[in-house]
Structure 1
Amino acid sequence: MSRRSTKKQFSSLGVEVPEDLHHQPAIYHHPDPILRRLRLEDPQGVPIPDLKSYFRDIKVVCFYFGGIYGEASLREFHRDLVTLSMKERKQFALIYVSTDTKYEEMKSVVQGKPWLRMTFHDGSDFAAISKTGPPEVEELLRGEDFVLSHELGEYEIPGEGAADPLEYDYVRPLSRAGLASHIGALKTPTLTIYHLPSHRILDRFARVEQFRPGQVGKYMQLWKEGRTGGVSARDIFQAMRWSLLLALLVGLYKALVFFGGSQYDFIPDVMTRISSGNFFPDRAGAATTEFLGGAAKSMPTLSVTRATI
């Protein structure tokens, strides 16, 4: 048996290549600037040895930043993600990025799920946001010098929309904390949609609702084409529902005054009584009650009047 070479190797940027990677360059050979900086494991926890081969047909990558805290309330959502991962496994890959501080916590979340994961052994320190205690001391995978979040200012990642010009050169890998900071994932769960062929983030903060069985099909088709999900009428309604309700009430009030006359313009009287300390508007309240009581009888006439106008 031949002895392993101990001769040091360096990248063109002067970064030392770990000895365990001297004969495993496929671990980091990939044109995508993000993917090649990750150390990934398959659903069984086995390191992925060849990025190009594994991601050959993948178009959409979902980075799922999550943790054990609150996991019980996300079980239905996780079932949706499992279903999606199995159905779209040829063109879709979910990469779980644990923000936990203990390996067993991460393992309990991904156990039995067909998700890829970033290696836990990267020196990430999520203690500041952890709900379960200080981090365990873990040996770094292959002794690599992972980039932590506080080092991103001095760490160069090519911009979006282009392949990495140094795809065959070794670079320091990103830790889980480093990727979270790069994406801007400050809470869990955070889901980021990445289009691998174009090297672009399509949706930095995708919504849980987009992964529900009745919705995910249309979004997946858009993501495969490198397009964002856009804003639907339902999204607008959800964001503006209280404003729309207020506008409806204002419209009803104006209709009341228009068809019933100025005697039903009770707001000025209410404001006067509030300022004087007497909140109950006798005249306006009686007039409004009288109008509403006869609304059913006058409804046909009102309908004809509206149609004429």
Structure 2
Amino acid sequence: MTPSSEVSPSLERNVSFSPTKDYIESTDRNNSYTQPDSKPKKSAMKPGHQARLPPAERYQHSDPLLRRLRLLDGHGKPVNLKSEFRDAKLILFYFGSQWHADYNKGCSAIVTEICREYARTVKVIYVSVDTDERHYLAATKNRPWLSMEFNDGSSEPSEEELDQTSQENSTPSETFLLADDEDLDADVVAADSAGKSYVCPLSRVYMANMLDVLLTPTLAVYSLEHRKFLDRNVRQSRLRKSRAESTIEHWLKGEVSPSMNWIDALYIVPWTAALAVAALAYLLVSFLTGHRFSISHLLS
């Protein structure tokens, strides 16, 4: 997990990612009203900027979630949804930040292995919670996974970024749904089973809000066949090389991964587990042999 300060449950969830935090602040989902003295929400679109529809292959798909994602490949090129996901059965959403851009940090190594072993059936989509585009590029460039578009209004560009690039380039070409935006296209998505019509795409911060992502790295599994999330906050121990095949088989059947067992506990807290085993062994030896092997006797 990313080193960060403790999250207070009383904090309200931000509309956009904070430039100083790697987490999304928690909130009460039922508290959806706007307080009288709160500032009106700003549109992700620049005033006077007209939305441009992307090519049809970027938003036309029968899956209600996939059609609302704007994806790029490891070379930064737009993804054709129908061709890229023709044989895919599962989507693994990988929420990460600058702390996990390196191969040996976070769960990058585990996810990379899945991309190689299940290139056709499992597609990995990286969702950056960073505010600096350089960190996003470091985590996605020439990687085997896809990624959600960065410039979607999830984070305000810094003054340095505005100096290096034009305001036009940092402005989203579409109106993305932000964390607390009402989804006005939900009925359209439900009625259009073929996925031909254009609907408002989802931003990175909207996805993090929807899946209650508080820390990174976080993994979530979506079934294209069953059109639902099977697992959220997936334990990395379930995706180790020795267990990944069994876990993915469960997902392909539309089942959640098995509940936590002692192997998971050993993987999460190895030193605590080792001390517990040593303590049990000591108690067993003391019980069988008497006081001769007690700590007080050995010290004396």
Q: Which runs of 5+ in 2 are unaligned?
A: 1-49, 295-300
Say yes or no: does 1:33 pair with 2:32: no
How far residue 140 of structure 1 moved from its aligned partner, in angstroms, is: 3.5
Shift in CA distance, 164/69, structure 1 to aligned 2, threshold 3 Å: farther
Q: Deviations over 1:138-187 (max 9, x none)?
A: 5344x210111121x455647xxx89647222111011111111111121
TM-aligned CA distance change 1:59 to 1:294, over 3 Å = closer
**SS of structure 2 residue aligned to 1:93:** strand
1:217 aligned to 242, 245, 255, which one? 245
Q: Does residue 56 of structure 2 align to residue 57 of structure 1?
A: no
Amino acid at match of 2:57: A
TM-score (norm 1): 0.63
Distance 1:157 1:20 in 2: 19
Asked whether 1:174 is paired with 2:205, we answer no
Partner of 1:149: 179
Kindly report which structure 2 residues correspond to 1:1-309, keeping only aligned pairs within 5 A, or say none: 18-21=51-54, 24-48=55-79, 50-69=80-99, 71-72=101-102, 74-75=104-105, 77-125=107-155, 139-141=170-172, 143-151=173-181, 153-155=182-184, 157=186, 165=193, 167-234=195-262, 291-293=290-292
Letter in 2 for 1:293: R
| TM-superposed deviation, 1:234 | 2.3
The answer to whether the 8 Å contact 2:68/2:199 transfers is: yes
Summarize the Cα distance change of 1:164–1:292 in structure 2 as closer, same or farther, 3 Å threshold.
farther
Structure 1 Cα separation of the partners of residues 245 and 99 of structure 2: 29
Deviation at 1:294, TM superposition (A): 9.2
SS in 2 for 1:206: coil
Distance 1:164 1:207, change over 3 A: farther
1:72 shift after superposition: 4.5
Structural RMSD (CA): 3.6
Tell me if the contact between 2:115 and 2:144 (Cα under 8 Å) persists in the aligned partners.
yes
Q: CA deviation at 1:76?
A: 7.3
Distance change >3 Å, CA 171–CA 74, structure 1 → 2: same
Percentage of matched positions with identical amino acids: 29
Q: Is the 8 A contact 2:61 2:67 kept in 1?
A: yes
Q: Counterparts of 2:159 and 2:99 in 1: how far apart (Å)?
A: 11
Q: If you compute each CA radius of gyration, which structure gives the higher value, 1 or 2?
A: 1
Which amino acid in 2 is paired with 1:205?
N
Task: Return the alpha-carbon distance in structure 2 between the equivalents of residues 65 and 291 of structure 1.
Answer: 53
Residues 1:174 and 1:51: Cα distance change in structure 2 (over 3 Å): same
Q: How many residues align?
A: 231
Cα distance in structure 2, aligned partners of 1:148 and 1:184: 14
Which residue identity lines up with residue 75 of structure 2 in the other structure? Q
Distance in 1 of aligned mates of 2:253 and 2:149: 29
Note the C-alpha offset of 1:85: 0.1
Give the partner amino acid of 1:170.
Y
Q: Would the alpha carbon gap of residues 237 and 100 (structure 1) be closer, same or farther in structure 2, given more than 3 Å must change?
A: closer
- AA aligned opposite 2:292: G
After TM superposition, the structure 1 stretch with the greater mean CA deviation from structure 2, 187-196 or 206-215, is: 206-215
| CA gap 1:78/1:155 in 2 versus in 1, 3 angstroms | same
Q: Distance in 2 between matches of 1:224 and 1:135?
A: 42
Evaluate the alpha carbon distance shift between residue 291 and residue 69 of structure 1 in structure 2; reply closer, same or farther with a 3 A threshold: closer
Preserved CA contact (<8 Å) 2:185 2:200? no
Contact preservation (8 Å) 1:60, 1:91: yes
Q: Cα distance, 1:30 vs. partner?
A: 1.4
State TM-score, norm by structure 2: 0.65
Q: What residue is the counterpart of 1:279 in the other structure?
A: none
Contact 1:101 1:135 in 2 (8 A): no
C-alpha deviation, 1:63, in angstroms: 0.4
Q: Which has the higher contact order (CA 8 A, sep 6+)?
A: 2
